[in-house]
Amino acid sequence: MRLSRYFMPILKENPKEAEIVSHRLMLRAGMIRQQSQGIYSWLPLGKRVLDKVNAIIRDEQNRAGAIELSMPTLQSAELWQESGRYDAYGKEMLRIKDRQDRPMLYGPTNEEMVTDIFRSSVKSYKDLPLNLYHIQLKFRDEIRPRFGTMRSREFMMKDAYSFDLTREAAEHSYNKMFAAYLRTFDRLGLRAIPMRADTGPIGGKLSHEFIILADTGESEVFCHKDFVDFDIPGEHTDFDNVEALQAIFDKWTSLYAATSEMHDEAAFNAVAEGDRLSARGIEVGHIFYFGTKYSEPMGAKVQGPDGKEHFVHMGSYGIGPTRLVPAIIEASHDDNGIIWPASVAPFDIVVINMKAGDQACDDTCELIYAALSKAGKDVLYDDTDDRAGTKFATADLIGVPVQIIAGPRAVANGEVEVKDRKTGARETMTIEAAINRFVV
Ligand code: ATP
Ligand code: MG
- CATH code of residue 392: 3.40.50.800
CA atoms of 220 and 201, how far apart (whole Å): 20
Closest residue by CA, ligand 1 atom 24: 151
CA atoms of 386 and 407, how far apart (whole Å): 13
Handedness of CA 300, 126, 180, 159 (dihedral sign): negative
Question: Do residues 240 and 375 both lie within one domain?
Answer: no
Chosen domain end from 282, 306, 338: 338
Closest residue by CA, ligand 1 atom 18: 285
Question: Do residues 13 and 83 both lie within one domain?
Answer: yes
Model confidence pLDDT, tens digit, residues 63-93: 999 999 999 999 999 999 999 999 999 999 9
Residues 26 and 333: beta-carbon distance below 8 Å: no
Q: Give the ligand with the smallest distance to the CA of 284.
A: 1
Domain assignment of residue 354, given as a range: 349-439
Pocket of ligand 1 (CB under 6 A): 140, 142, 151-152, 155, 157, 200, 283-286, 318-320, 322-323
Residues 245 and 174: beta-carbon distance below 8 Å: no
Residues 288 and 316: beta-carbon distance below 8 Å: yes
CA atoms of 362 and 417, how far apart (whole Å): 15
Closest residue by CA, ligand 1 atom 14: 318
Question: Do residues 319 and 362 both lie within one domain?
Answer: no
Closest residue by CA, ligand 1 atom 25: 151
Residues 284 and 210: beta-carbon distance below 8 Å: yes
CA 112 from centre of chain = 24
Q: Is omega for the bond preceding 194 within 30 degrees of 0, making it cis?
A: no
Give the distance (Å) from ligand 1 centre to CA of residue 68. Answer: 20
DSSP string of 354-369, one letter each residue: TTTT-HHHHHHHHHHH
Kindly report whether the global pTM for this prediction surpasses the value 0.95. Answer: yes
Among 173-187, 204-218, 261-275, 289-303, the minimum mean pLDDT is found in 204-218
- Residue 205, Ramachandran bin (φ over 0: left; ψ between -120 and 50: alpha; else beta): alpha
* Closest atom, ligand 1, to C-alpha of 109: 10
- Looking at residue 249, its pLDDT comes to 97
Mean pLDDT of the chain: 96
* Closest atom, ligand 1, to C-alpha of 145: 27
344: in domain:
no
pLDDT band at 198 (very low <50, low <70, confident <90, very high): confident
CA atoms of 153 and 94, how far apart (whole Å): 10
Give the distance (Å) from ligand 2 centre to CA of residue 75. Answer: 21
CA atoms of 323 and 192, how far apart (whole Å): 14
Q: Give which of 52, 393, 31, 366 is closest to 403, Cα–Cα.
A: 393
CA atoms of 119 and 123, how far apart (whole Å): 7
Question: Do residues 365 and 434 both lie within one domain?
Answer: yes
Average pLDDT over residues 198-210: 76
321: in domain:
yes
Question: Do residues 304 and 377 both lie within one domain?
Answer: no
Mutation pick for ligand 1 pocket among 286, 316, 322, 324 (CB with most ligand atoms within 8 Å):
286
Closest residue by CA, ligand 1 atom 26: 151
- Count, residues in the chain: 440
Residues in contact with 47: Cβ distance below 8 Å, sequence separation at least 6, in sequence order: none
Chosen domain end from 338, 372, 400: 338
Model confidence pLDDT, tens digit, residues 258-316: 999 899 999 999 999 999 999 999 999 999 999 999 999 999 999 999 999 999 999 99
Question: Do residues 332 and 405 both lie within one domain?
Answer: no
- Looking at residue 200, its pLDDT comes to 66
Question: Do residues 334 and 353 both lie within one domain?
Answer: no
201: enclosing H helix or E strand: none
Closest residue by CA, ligand 1 atom 2: 283
Question: Do residues 221 and 121 both lie within one domain?
Answer: yes
Q: Is omega for the bond preceding 129 within 30 degrees of 0, making it cis?
A: yes
- CATH number, domain of 260, equals 3.30.930.10
DSSP string of 9-52, one letter each residue: ---SSPPTT--SHHHHHHHHTT-EEEEETTEEEE-HHHHHHHHH
Chosen domain end from 305, 338, 371: 338
Give the distance (Å) from ligand 2 centre to CA of residue 65. Answer: 23
* Closest atom, ligand 1, to C-alpha of 151: 28
1: in domain:
no
Give the distance (Å) from ligand 1 centre to CA of residue 400. Answer: 28
Question: Do residues 95 and 18 both lie within one domain?
Answer: yes
Question: Do residues 372 and 296 both lie within one domain?
Answer: no
Give the distance (Å) from ligand 2 centre to CA of residue 74. Answer: 21
301: in domain:
yes
343: in domain:
no
CA atoms of 377 and 333, how far apart (whole Å): 23
pLDDT band at 24 (very low <50, low <70, confident <90, very high): very high
What sections of 31-166 are H helices per DSSP? 44-63, 77-83, 85-88, 111-121
Average pLDDT over residues 344-365: 98
Question: Do residues 253 and 394 both lie within one domain?
Answer: no
Q: Give the ligand with the smallest distance to the CA of 319.
A: 1
Residues 209 and 283: beta-carbon distance below 8 Å: yes
133: in domain:
yes
Q: Where are the beta strands (DSSP E) in 206-275?
A: 206-213, 219-224, 257-259
72: in domain:
yes
Query: Cα Rg for the chain, rounded, in angstroms?
Result: 24
Handedness of CA 25, 27, 30, 33 (dihedral sign): positive
Backbone angles phi, psi at 282, to 5 degrees: -110, 125
Residues 390 and 374: beta-carbon distance below 8 Å: no
- Does residue 429 register a pLDDT over 90? yes
Task: Kindly report the number of other CB atoms within 10 A of residue 156's CB atom.
Answer: 22
Task: Kindly report the number of other CB atoms within 10 A of residue 84's CB atom.
Answer: 14
Closest residue by CA, ligand 1 atom 4: 151
Question: Do residues 61 and 118 both lie within one domain?
Answer: yes
152: in domain:
yes
Model confidence pLDDT, tens digit, residues 143-161: 999 999 999 999 999 999 9
Average pLDDT over residues 324-342: 98
| Number of folded domains that form the chain | 2
Residues in contact with 218: Cβ distance below 8 Å, sequence separation at least 6, in sequence order: 151, 280, 282, 283
Count H helices, E strands: the chain?
14, 23
Residues in contact with 250: Cβ distance below 8 Å, sequence separation at least 6, in sequence order: none
CA atoms of 316 and 146, how far apart (whole Å): 26
